[in-house]
Structure 1
Amino acid sequence: MVNVNLVYGTVYGSAQFTAETLAKEITALGFNATLMKPNELADFIPKESEHLIVVCSTTGQGEVTEDIYPWFAHLKTTAPYLPKLKYSIVGLGDSSYDTFCGAAKQFDALLSELGAQALTPRLEIDATETMEPELEATKWLTTWHAAVVNKV
Structure 2
Amino acid sequence: MATISIFYGSVYGAAERLAETLSAHINELGGSAKLVDNPQVEDIIAAEQILVVTSTTGQGDLPDNILPLYLSLQEQFPLLGAKPCAVIALGDSSYGETFCGGGRQFEELLIELQGKIIQPRLDIDAMVDFEPEPVALPWVERLVAQS
Aligned equivalent of 2:79: 81
Assess if the C-alpha contact under 8 Å between 1:4 and 1:33 holds in 2: yes
1:108 Cα deviation after fit = 0.5
Amino acid at match of 1:54: V
Taking the aligned partners of 1:2 and 1:147, their CA distance within structure 2 comes to: 10
The Cα shift of 1:46 comes to 2.0
Q: Structure 2: which amino acid aligns with 1:96?
A: S
Report how far residue 118 of structure 1 moved: 0.2
- After the TM superposition, which residues 39-118 of structure 1 pair with which residues of structure 2 at under 5 Å, given as runs? 40-47=38-45, 50-98=48-96, 99-118=98-117
Percent identical among aligned pairs is 40
Please report the RMSD computed on the Cα atoms of aligned residues, expressed in angstroms: 1.4
Provide the residue aligned with 2:125 in structure 1.
126
The amino acid across from 1:72 in the alignment is Y
1:74-132 residue CA offsets vs partner (Å, 9 max, x unmatched):
11100001123101100000011120000000001000000000010000000001111
TM-score if structure 2 supplies the norm length?
0.93
Could you list the runs of 5+ residues in structure 1 that have no partner in the other structure? Answer: none
In structure 1, C-alpha distance between the alignment counterparts of 2:41 and 2:113, rounded to whole Å:
16
**TM-score, reference length from structure 1:** 0.90
2:121 alignment partner AA: R
Secondary structure of 2:54's match?
A: strand
Which structure's residues are more often helix, by fraction? 2
Structure 2 unaligned spans of 5+: none
Distance 1:141 1:42 in 2: 24
In structure 2, what is the equivalent of residue 16 of structure 1? Answer: 16
